[in-house]
Amino acid sequence: MHAWEKSLNASVTSPEELAGLFRVDAAALSGVVERYPMRITPYYLSLIREPGDAIWRQCVADPAELADLSQSPDPLDEERLSPVPGLIHRYPDRVVWIASASCAVYCRFCMRKRGVGCAGMQVAPQNEALEYLAAHPEIRDVILSGGDPLLLSDERLEDLLSGLRRIPHLEIVRIGTRVPVTLPERVTPKLAALLKRFHPLFINTHFNHPDEITEQAARACALLADAGIPLGNQSVLLKGVNDDPQVMRRLMQKLLYLRVRPYYLHQMDLVKGTAHFRTPLARGVEVLKALRGHTSGLAVPHYVIDLPGGKGKVEVSAECVRREGSRLVVTTYTGETLEYQDIS
């Protein structure tokens, strides 16, 4: 067993384990964890300074998750847009391949919390997925997602990537992973050398707070960057975590120092069980305004909404988003106009 697998096996997964480390009411969390699993690696747990801080809020179960009954478990209609189970074909030239059903840490704001870590999470069958991709020459870009694809073994990753590279019209592969943030020991020289064989390959990771940028995370990112892999970061705007201009500026600046380019800042998706993380759109605009001109343009991400119904991402800009009285109206990349549910 590899060191990272041993670390994963030592994760905190129950309210009772958590109560042995912090003053928490295990009984109040048991129902939450039954519905939405909890897993916190020893490394990520060590970043918690006190209950309720930015790291805690991202990984520790909260009764507020069960109080959110108004939103959809699958607001982006991913299951409807999956011609093969676990293969999401939402945009014309690219697909998302759900390659893993689990993550090192189960983020409490996860867009796929309906299934990640649960027995019913659908992973795309490899042969069926490859057959679909081979039959659709319009697809040029595959995003491996999950769960976290880098929780697969090196051997499994090699097999999957080799299959993709046998399809001539697939130009690029992207991997979405949070292991540099939550399980940095997973990024080994062997893994970096493996991934290097499959260029052009890009990695988008997911730092949300400057406290996540540690020496261990920096080493993981350096191994990947030294392998020639362009690194991007997709943050989510989270209430009580990073919805502060100074926190966001510090995060974006530190990312660049790690050779990680800020890519997206996501407005919180309308996912059931996550309403307590949502901020008004105006808050995100304020955060972005505090970045522009006050720091390098390299440190300014695209602030985007991933629209319900599988309508795609739109950048929060005067061109795509406008207010009409109390309504928020957005224009999609296809030119469709629709209303978006903001909060006050």
Q: Report the catalytic residues.
A: 90-91, 94, 103, 107, 110, 112, 269, 306, 313
Q: Pairing mode, if any, of strands 231-236 and 201-205?
A: parallel
| Interacting residues of 56 by C-beta distance below 8 A, sequence separation 6+ | 48, 50
User: Which two tokens mark 329?
Assistant: 């109206």
320 labelled binding-site residue? no
Pairwise CA distance, residues 141 & 230, whole Å = 15
107 labelled binding-site residue? yes
CA atoms within 13 A on the CB side of 335: 0
Sheet containing strand 321-324, strands side by side: 321-324, 327-331, 337-340
Q: Pairing mode, if any, of strands 312-315 and 260-266?
A: unpaired
Q: Which amino acid is at 142?
A: V
| Interacting residues of 282 by C-beta distance below 8 A, sequence separation 6+ | none
CB atoms under 10 Å from CB of 28, counted, come to 12
Cα–Cα distance list, 151 to 124, 190, 263, 278 (Å)? 15, 14, 23, 28
Cα–Cα distance list, 12 to 104, 148, 179, 232 (Å)? 11, 18, 16, 29
Q: Output phi, psi for 96, to 5 deg.
A: -105, 125
Residues placed in the known binding site for [4Fe-4S] cluster: 103, 107, 110
